[in-house]
Every structure is written in structure tokens, then in C-alpha cells.
């Protein structure tokens, strides 16, 4: 039987505010346990939540970025459950009326086999809520330790429609979403610190069947690699179960990166009975048109628009434009290099090629690139005006990486300047032809290969410092 995979994603993006969503405690990561808590966060009786305006602004920014509806009135609700890292006994979230609804994002899917393609994924909603604290299960004399520093950190939970049909599509969606939230500055995107976490709802159904199969939810995936591995494992598992005659039971599972498997969390029969109701401590959140308009005016150019502009303004291919606009920092680096005089196509090639490879090797991002866009631009100018060839340029880039020297200084220091005086090159070629009369004869008798051998001899004589195109041209003229 042919199976179709159905995936919906819930992403928790931590909003990059200074203070918590309902208290004035700091949200900074890594502080000593429980030193960033206010009365609201530890749920002292009578403590009342006061909403952080910046969290609302960031939710609005997100709504604008994905062309969603921003509800002029939305409601906070209590999601009731008991767990020690949630001292109130409920999480303040949004249920019936979220701040953002609908909207869509376009993603570029690169499946393991076959051609890359674009896909539009619709969003169901995005709502504001508070994060819980952290439970530490190391041994405290048989007890658990609770750190409430994270309790009350603002989150935007972004829920997609179940429109993804493979792990590759789910990863492309998560990456596109990641790019948007970091691009518009609402989330710092630090996945190791849990700033961007994915839950994947996965089910399978026979191809052609209209109803969805029973889904299982994989919780708390904090890397794109784990997201992909977990979905692939889960899909195989579900298909095996069904083909062996078992039924899928709705469940919440965790992914274990060590084994590459998903396993069921202890089932709590009442786990999904959250008894939501509007929070009497918080009147409805009202957002007026003027506020939305003001934020609209402050929005940066979005990745999709910038990609289109890169194609038209710089004549880049869709692929190059897409790669360069995958992160705001890379796009800015590229534009800075072009502004400093680099040829756009060459700049794109070098940034996506040598520079990105070296950054990957060193596990750095473009923000930490030791070669500034301006220094790169000078090097590219020297390629464009034939002062150096591509091969020497790679050396120059490596040296620039390790020192503060400019391309010009390094070219001079290492004597890399190519011979551009055609008279000098001609003299050099005459010498080579005279010394290799046999080869010249071979060529004249029809052996095409001899031409390449002559080019090789000329380049050798020039010690690699003559532009190959010029050598070719002069050589052809002389032999022709």
C-alpha cells in the first residue's frame, strides 16, 4: 500500500523581550536559579499579571510578516494542569480568540531525491502565552529541583495547518519560520537555549483517502536535524504498526537523539483535559488600527521581497538570491560588499562558496566572519580587473582570514599580480613557441590536443601570472 504522510507543526518561539510577559522580572538566559522571579512568576496569592506591551508588538509584527489577520480583540485563557514547574496550576495562554489567525508562508523544499520546489503552508493561528519553569531531575535526595527563572517568559505559539507531506517539507517550513522570526527581530533564534522549539503532529493515511489517520505528537524538538530524524522514524513506525494490523493510538511521544527513536511519554489519562476558561485577571487585549499601522511602518524588508529584489537589481539567479536572503546577516553582508564595489555575481559566488564553507568549518556565522564585506569587495575587484586569477584569490582570501591585511597588500607581498601588458605576454608566448617547435607542428597537422599543451607551457613560463583568457587569445592568433 502507498502511504501519505500528514504533518502539522506547532512552534514555540520565545519572544526577545527584556522582561517577562506578565511581570517585570528579567528574561536573560543563564542566571542563577530563581534569581529572576517576581511575585507573579512564583504565583504568590494575590499577585496579578500585567501585560508586557513589547510581547504584543512582536506578535503583531509576526502577523504582518505572514499576511495574517490580527485580531483587534483577543482573549487570555487559563490552561489548567498540575506540574511543579507551573506554580499557579495553570498556564496563561490564548484559546478561543488568539491574537493572530490565518496567514501563510512560502517555503523552498529540497527533498532528498528529486527537484527542489516551492510550497505554500497556511497557518492556523499564533497566540501569546507564558513559558513554564524548569524541572531538574538530578538527585536532590530523591526530590526534583525547580527553577522558575524561565516561568513567565513570553512565547508565541505558531500553529500550522496539517499541510506538510514529508519530513523535508516540515524541515523547510520550520526553517522558513525560523528565518522570519529572527529576521523581524521577535526571537533570538537560539535553539540550544530553547528559544525556538517544535512539536510535530504526525499521521499517515493510505494515498487517496480523505480522512486523516490518528496522529501522534512528537514534543520539544530543538534542532532541524532532530525534527527530520524524529518524523522519519515516527512515519516508519506508524506504517509498520498499521501494516502489522495494529491501530495507532493518539499519544504524545519524545524523540531520543541517542537512539534515533520516538517513545511514548507516560500517558496521563487526563492530560488533555485542560478546562480552558477566560482568565478573570486579564481583560481582553485590544489592538487598534493605528497601532498596527505604526508597526507596519517599522517592518524591515522581508526575505521574500528581498529575494525578488536581488534577482532584479543584481541579476542573480533565483537560487543565489534565495540562498543569500536565507539570513538577514548574509543578505546585509552581500549588499555591503556590492556597495563597496564588488561585482554582484562574483560576490554571491564567493559568499556562498569559499566564505560559507570556511565559516561552516569553523562553526561560525557570517556575523563573526573575520573578513569584512569591504575587504572581500577589494579582493573581488582585483579578480574583476584581472590583477589576480581565481586560484590566487583563494590564497588571498585565506590570508585575509588570518590577518588584517588588505587584498592589495597580500597581492604585493606574495607577488601575485598577473601580467596584463599584452606586449609582455606576446613576447613570452613567442619564446614558448620557439622552444616548442615540435608541438607547434603537431598542432598544425591537426592535433587539437597540442594546443592545450602549448597553453600549459605558456602558463608555466608565466608562473601562473598571465590571465588564461588572454594567453588563449594571443596563442590562437599566432597559430591561426
Q: Which residues bind other proteins (CB under 8 A)?
A: 17-19, 23-28, 32-38, 42, 44, 50-56, 75-76, 80, 82-84, 89, 97, 135-137, 140-148, 254, 265-266, 270, 273, 275, 278, 280, 282-286
As given in the structure block, the three cell numbers for residue 236 are: 516508519
CB closer to other proteins out of 48 and 427: 48
Burial class (CB in 10 A: 0-12, 13-18, 19+), 305: exposed
Task: Give me the least distance between CB of 200 and other proteins, in Å please.
Answer: 18
CB closer to other proteins out of 249 and 427: 249
Task: Give me the least distance between CB of 79 and other proteins, in Å please.
Answer: 12
CB closer to other proteins out of 136 and 469: 136
Question: Which phi and psi angles does 233 have, rounded to 5°?
Answer: -65, -45
CB closer to other proteins out of 253 and 416: 253
State whether the Cα torsion 296-301-302-305 is positive or negative: positive
CB closer to other proteins out of 39 and 357: 39
**What residues contact residue 439 under an 8 Å CB cut-off, 6+ apart?**
450, 453, 454, 457
Residue 368 neighbours by CB distance under 10 Å? 10
CB closer to other proteins out of 49 and 162: 49
State whether the Cα torsion 141-142-148-153 is positive or negative: positive
Residue 397 neighbours by CB distance under 10 Å? 21
State whether the Cα torsion 371-375-378-382 is positive or negative: negative
Task: Give me the least distance between CB of 219 and other proteins, in Å please.
Answer: 9
Task: Give me the least distance between CB of 173 and other proteins, in Å please.
Answer: 27
Task: Give me the least distance between CB of 25 and other proteins, in Å please.
Answer: 4
CB closer to other proteins out of 45 and 114: 45
Task: Give me the least distance between CB of 240 and other proteins, in Å please.
Answer: 25
What is the 3 state secondary structure string of 155-207? EEEEEECCCECCHHHHHHHHHHHHHHHHHCCCCCCCCCCCCEEEEEEEEEEEC
Residue indicated by cell numbers 540550544? 192
DSSP annotation of 410: H
CB closer to other proteins out of 20 and 465: 20
Task: Give me the least distance between CB of 164 and other proteins, in Å please.
Answer: 26
Task: Give me the least distance between CB of 303 and other proteins, in Å please.
Answer: 26
State whether the Cα torsion 398-399-402-403 is positive or negative: negative
Query: Distance between CA 256 and CA 249 in Å, rounded?
Result: 20
Residue indicated by cell numbers 487559563? 78
CB closer to other proteins out of 92 and 429: 92
Task: Give me the least distance between CB of 148 and other proteins, in Å please.
Answer: 7
Amino acid at each position: 500500500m502507498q502511504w501519505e504522510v500528514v504533518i502539522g507543526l506547532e512552534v514555540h518561539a520565545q519572544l526577545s523581550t527584556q522582561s517577562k510577559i506578565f511581570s517585570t522580572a528579567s528574561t536573560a538566559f543563564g542566571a542563577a536559579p530563581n534569581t529572576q522571579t517576581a511575585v507573579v512568576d512564583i504565583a504568590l496569592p494575590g499577585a496579578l499579571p500585567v501585560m508586557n506591551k513589547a510581547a504584543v508588538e512582536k506578535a503583531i509584527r509576526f502577523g504582518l510578516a505572514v499576511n495574517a489577520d490580527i485580531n483587534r480583540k483577543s482573549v487570555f485563557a487559563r490552561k489548567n494542569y498540575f506540574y511543579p514547574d507551573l506554580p499557579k496550576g495553570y498556564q496563561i495562554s490564548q484559546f478561543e480568540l488568539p491574537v493572530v489567525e490565518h496567514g501563510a508562508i512560502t517555503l523552498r523544499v529540497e527533498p532528498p531525491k528529486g527537484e527542489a520546489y516551492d510550497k505554500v503552508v497556511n497557518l492556523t493561528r499564533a497566540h501569546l502565552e507564558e513559558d513554564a519553569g524548569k524541572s531538574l531531575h538530578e538527585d536532590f535526595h530523591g526530590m526534583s529541583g525547580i527553577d522558575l527563572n524561565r516561568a513567565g517568559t513570553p512565547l508565541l505559539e505558531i500553529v500550522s495547518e496539517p499541510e506538510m507531506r514529508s519530513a523535508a517539507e516540515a524541515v523547510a517550513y520550520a526553517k522558513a519560520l525560523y528565518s522570519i522570526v529572527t529576521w523581524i527581530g521577535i526571537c533570538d533564534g537560539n535553539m540550544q537555549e530553547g528559544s525556538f522549539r517544535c512539536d510535530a503532529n504526525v499521521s499517515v493515511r493510505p494515498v487517496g483517502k480523505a480522512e486523516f489517520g490518528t496522529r501522534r505528537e512528537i514534543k520539544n524538538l530543538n534542532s532541524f536535524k532532530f525534527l527530520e530524524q524524529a518524523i522519519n522514524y515516527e512515519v516508519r513506525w506508524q506504517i509498520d504498526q498499521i501494516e502489522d494490523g495494529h491501530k495507532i493510538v493518539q499519544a504524545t511521544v519524545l524523540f531520543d537523539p541517542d537512539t534515533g527513536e520516538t517513545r511514548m511519554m507516560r500517558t496521563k489519562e487526563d492530560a488533555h483535559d485542560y478546562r480552558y476558561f477566560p482568565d478573570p485577571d486579564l481583560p481582553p487585549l485590544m489592538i487598534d488600527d493605528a497601532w498596527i499601522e505604526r508597526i507596519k511602518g517599522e517592518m524591515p524588508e522581508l526575505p521574500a521581497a528581498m529575494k525578488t529584489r536581488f534577482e532584479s537589481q543584481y541579476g542573480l539567479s533565483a537560487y543565489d538570491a534565495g540562498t543569500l536572503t536565507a539570513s538577514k546577516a548574509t543578505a546585509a553582508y552581500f549588499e555591503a560588499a556590492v556597495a563597496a564595489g564588488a561585482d554582484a555575481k562574483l560576490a554571491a559566488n564567493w559568499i556562498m562558496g569559499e566564505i560559507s564553507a570556511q565559516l561552516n568549518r569553523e562553526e561560525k556565522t557570517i556575523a563573526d566572519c573575520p573578513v569584512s564585506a569591504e575587504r572581500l569587495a577589494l579582493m573581488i575587484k582585483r579578480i574583476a580587473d584581472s590583477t589576480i586569477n581565481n586560484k590566487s584569490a583563494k590564497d588571498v582570501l585565506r590570508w585575509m582570514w588570518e590577518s588584517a591585511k588588505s587584498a592589495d597588500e597580500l597581492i604585493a607581498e606574495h607577488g601575485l599580480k598577473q601580467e596584463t601588458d599584452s606586449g609582455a605576454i606576446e613576447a613570452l608566448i613567442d619564446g614558448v613557441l620557439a622552444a616548442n617547435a615540435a608541438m607547434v607542428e603537431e598542432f598544425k597537422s591537426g592535433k587539437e590536443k597540442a594546443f592545450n599543451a602549448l597553453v600549459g607551457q605558456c602558463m608555466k613560463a608565466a608562473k601562473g601570472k598571465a590571465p588564461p583568457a588572454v594567453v588563449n587569445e594571443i596563442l590562437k592568433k599566432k597559430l591561426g
